[in-house]
Structure 1
Amino acid sequence: MLLGAHVSTAGGCRNAPQRGADIGATAIQIFTKQPNRWAEVEVSDEECDLYRGGIHTHGVRYAVAHDSYLINLATADPVLRERSYAAFRGELRRAVRLGLDALVTHPGNATDGDVARGLWQNAELIAQAMEEEGGTVEVLLETTAGSGKVLGSRFEELREMIDRIPPAVRGRVGVCVDTCHVYAAGYDLRGDYDGVIAQFADVIGLDRLRLFHLNDSMTPFASKRDRHAAIGEGSLGDEPFRRLMNDERFAHVPRVLETPKELPEDPKDLVTLDRRNLARLRAFLEA
């Protein structure tokens, strides 16, 4: 099973595979730049070589990047739209150069309230960037919690975006299901696991489910709030994760944690909580 967590790239992407090994990960998620800044970076040939060497050395079998939190490909603001598109292309370019498997992106915020326009524009810009940057990196639309005018909290919206991607690149577009986000959005993974999975299958198709973000939720069901908790310590509880870990339909789907990392007694320790959460998930699998 491909299982791991989001790991730091402090000091360069080259350090991420070792940090994955430190927590026993076979799958990792990274940022290829600071996610809260517009400043673009290019990864050097040396950085790419060292990163790829580390992936091989440390046995990481799946690696995905998460794009910048500032990007909004659904905005109605033409200035922000162009800035977001340039940043998204940069994210995709770095992912291609590093040899990552996928790039996770949030579907954006329809700032003018025009959901149809936001979905159409987002899909159009993603497709354009994929065509221009080339490569084989998948683009994964992440499910969202649904606060404000954020898109992607309903399976139907994700399906509409996928359908608007041209066939030439549509095969490289999938969905990242965040367990906290879908629960907060109103899909009851705790009370109706089978129903939620069936709805995803009917609306989007299980073949489009390419990655899980495994996060419990600090807030109640249908809260529309994105607040991650440690596995089994939030309102989702253990059972949905036990089901996911043993669901044979998803045996091939990578899973990464985005749960809190810092120990209150030692903020510099960024491995203990990941190890603890991963051990809990593996225990569900062994049970």
Structure 2
Amino acid sequence: MLRACIGARHKPIVFRTSVNFMAKRKASEDAAPVAKRTKSNATAPIVYAARQNSAWKVGAHVSAAGGVENAVTNAASIGANAFALFVKSQRKWTSPTLTDTTITRFKAAMLEHGYDARHVLPHGSYLINLGNPDAEKRKKSYDCFVDDLQRCAALGLVLYNFHPGSTVGEATTEESIALIAGCINDAHIATEGSGIVTVIENMAGAGNIIGGDFAHLGKIIEQVNDKTRVGVCLDTCHMFAAGYDLRTAVGWNKIVSDFDAQVGLSYLRGMHLNDSKTELNSKRDRHENIGLGHIGAAGFHHILNDPRFQDIPLILETPSGDEKKPGEVWAVEIAGLYSLSGALGMEDELKNVVDRVRVVVERVGGGKAKKGAEKKKKTDKGKRKSKKHEDEDEDEDYAE
């Protein structure tokens, strides 16, 4: 019988600092100055200010290069009133500790730009696999998981999004689900008092991956002791790849109904808004820019006109084209999504959104990036062994 998460638990760390920035706003002069803004990341004040009070919280997973505090200004610069970030390297087991200066600057930037911690959705390490039946490897993932939670708490954040894990072909789905829930329970004890909500992401359903079925998420939550500290993030590309068709109003309403029945809408804490490069039920996680994939702009119109999805972070993880100008594509996509909110859904408006996104993607190097990817694919073709979908997609990010 598999043992729930780990043998020796972390000693609980008690967090007493409030994490609600909006409730405890104070004079910015009391904090250390935030990183100096340059012309490339200067905030667009008119656009951003107009969206601050919107019920829709649309943003992107922005860069935290040079310090997590930079993620805040990067988000504001593209007119986002929500954002995601990595609180450490997503592909390393350990990272340098956050300094007091970095923490202070991050909190000051949050205050300066008026972001509420409820609309920031940090993403966990890609290495974490809490469903691994190997106790030693699972413990390594668990330690990385808890470190992420502690970093979020130090920054005053309240959400933490992560991929649930994989059976790696050595456990049943039910066994891995129990292990994931056990690790979440242990992590909640280890971070007692932080209030951080562990937000489980749905997955594309490849091979051994947990989370392609809403029922998986519901079963994990059933086994979590503290229901106030667990939630779900729905990724549109993952849903579509797993067979959930959101392209029509009927399809979207069925998805919401199924999710409510198998998980519960009360657990929804955020979404990732991504179009899909692959067709419905492909089981492949391939993000595409809004309106340019197989989902199409209509699918996102349904979301941005469903009031049940207001006041939660709606985060783009779409291709950004030129790495030197990632914000340009996201700024246009964010504006396009806002234009869909309240729209009647006429074909002209949907086409306008798609056209604007296509133009900016091509202008900042989307076509060049595609050619580069095709060239690399040809170069590597003779070197690669035959792999299952899970190895090509999600499983490659999990520790063995």
Using the TM superposition, give the Cα deviation of residue 286 of structure 1 relative to its aligned residue in structure 2, in angstroms: 4.2
Give the secondary-structure state (helix, strand or coil) at the position aligned to 1:276.
Answer: helix
Q: String of CA shifts for 1:229-270, please: whole Å, max 9, x gaps.
A: 01111000011100100101222222111011123xxx3111
The number of equivalent residue pairs is 282
Q: For residues 221-260 of structure 1, what are the structure 2 equivalents within 5 Å?
A: 221-260=280-319
Q: Please list every run of 5 or more consecutive structure 2 residues that lacks an aligned counterpart in the other structure.
A: 1-55, 344-400
Among candidates 142, 153, 175, match of residue 201 of structure 2: 142
- TM normalised by structure 1 equals 0.96
Which of 1 and 2 has greater Rg? 2
Q: What secondary structure sits across from 2:330 in the alignment? A: helix
State the partner residue of 1:6.
61
On the 8 A contact 1:28/1:60 being kept in 2, the answer is: no
1:114 Cα deviation after fit? 1.2
Task: State how 1:42-81 maps to structure 2 within 5 Å.
Answer: 42-61=97-116, 62-81=119-138
Distance 1:286 1:193 in 2: 17
TM-score, normalised to structure 2, is 0.69
Match of 1:121 among 164, 176, 179: 179
- What residue number does 1:109 align with? 166
Residue 59 of structure 1: CA displacement? 2.3
Aligned to 1:100: 157
**Structure 1 unaligned blocks of 5 or more:** none
Deviation string, structure 1 residues 4-44 (Cα, Å, up to 9, x no partner): 11011101111111101111111110101111111233212
Alignment partners' CA distance in 1, 2:75 and 2:185: 31
Per the TM alignment, residue 56 of structure 1 is displaced from its structure 2 partner at its CA by 1.0
Shift of 1:161: 0.3
Cα deviation code 1:183-213 (max 9, x no counterpart): 1001111141111111111111111111010
2:85 counterpart residue number: 30
* CA displacement 1:128-149 (0-9 Å, x = unmatched): 1111112011111000001120
User: Quick one: distance in 1 between partners of 2:129 and 2:70?
Assistant: 28
Can you list the C-alpha shifts for 1:132-175, whole angstroms capped at 9, x where unaligned?
11201111100000112000110111000001001xx2112110
Give the counterpart of 2:244 among 187, 204, 209.
Answer: 187
Residues 106-140 of structure 1: per-residue CA shift (max 9 Å, x gap): 11001114111100001110111111112011111
1:261 aligns with 2:320: yes
Percent identical among aligned pairs is 37
Quote the Cα distance in structure 1 between the aligned partners of 2:280 and 2:148. Answer: 33
Contact 1:123 1:162 in 2 (8 A): yes
Please tell me whether residue 41 in structure 1 is matched to residue 99 in structure 2.
Answer: no
CA separation in 2, counterparts of 1:77 and 1:132? 21
Q: What amino acid is aligned across from residue 159 of structure 1 in structure 2?
A: G
